[in-house]
Amino acid sequence: RISYLSSVFFFVMSLVFLLALIHAVTSKHQSVGDPFVDPRSPCSQNGMFEDDVCRCDNCYVGATCETKSETCVVDASSGSPFFTDDYWISEVRNGNKDSTITIAPYYHIGYGAFVGAGNCGGFAPVSGGCRNDLETEIRALHDAVGNFKHNGYTLVMGVGSTELIAASVYSLLDSSQNATVFSEEPYYNGHSGVAEFFGRNWAQSAEEAEANARTYGRNSTLEFVTSPSNPTGAMRTKQVASGTAVFDSAYFWPHFTPITADRKLSDHDVALFTLSKI
């Protein structure tokens, strides 16, 4: 049974994430043991100094991000890891040695879906080798953070969250005309997008979804539970008791929300995580 999904962004997000870390040790960034230099100082505190130039925050322009644009419209159509900049700056400023990451400049992880014999430079969807190493590290990470008790659960890896969301809808719902998906607002638009792609019904309320599950059975109704919620960080619970739930736990990490207890799942429920938010 599919009991535990963990999304691994080995396409775009993993490449961007690794390149950012590589820049941190090969470019003009903080190195271990160096005196702290605020990377926002050269950019008027309105941007980050990277690769000898300022990456300005939204609505600020100029070589040193010194000018605020009065006609600026902030694009809030999608999330960005840039909002964690100040947190990591404070960690380095306060001397937290665990916040410094060192990666050799010649080390790269490929982002292809398959790898050749003996090559661990990409995502291996088969048992053994790199697959086992990656699974061991993912489980160890959850143990260290305390956000999921994985013992007894199967780990399923995918190339991006969309792939695993689609796999959930395709595999956990029956193919009847009554197959229904629900997610409490606000929700990730990928939930409704995948439901539409597979021709599944979209419930407008938890009551509607619950009625569907009670009438046609558990496999007729799937609920995506975005917990913690984005952007409020509120912890959510399953609303459709008679259906199957996929807990979208992308933000269930301590740098987004306090981890006070691990995720509790029913026998048929699924937890979805993603490398892009770590």
Residue-wise pLDDT tens digits, 54-90: 988 888 999 999 999 888 887 766 666 677 777 878 8
Angstrom distance (rounded) from CA 202 to CA 266? 23
CA–CA separation, 166 vs 191, rounded Å? Answer: 8
Average pLDDT in the 16-44 region? Answer: 58
Q: What is the pTM of this model?
A: 0.62
pLDDT one-digit tens code per residue, 200-225: 999 999 999 999 999 999 999 999 99
Interior/surface letters 143-175, b for 16+ CB within 10 angstroms, e for the rest? eeeebbebeebebbbbbbbebbbbbbbeebbee
Mean pLDDT of 185-204: 92
Range of lowest pLDDT (8-17, 37-46, 88-97, 152-161): 8-17
Q: What's the pLDDT band for 159 if we cut at 50, 70, 90?
A: confident
Cβ burial of 204 (10 Å; 0-12, 13-18, 19+) is: exposed
- What's the CA gap between 19 and 12, in Å, rounded? 11
**What pLDDT score was predicted for residue 161?**
84
Compare 111 and 235 and report the one with higher pLDDT. 235
Residues 174 and 142: beta-carbon distance below 8 Å: no
- Cβ–Cβ < 8 Å for 62, 69: no
pLDDT value at position 97? Answer: 62
* Mean pLDDT over the full length of the chain: 77
Tokens read off for 201: 């019904």
Strand partners, 223: 182, 245
User: Is the pLDDT reported for residue 179 higher than 90?
Assistant: yes
pLDDT at 184 over 60: yes
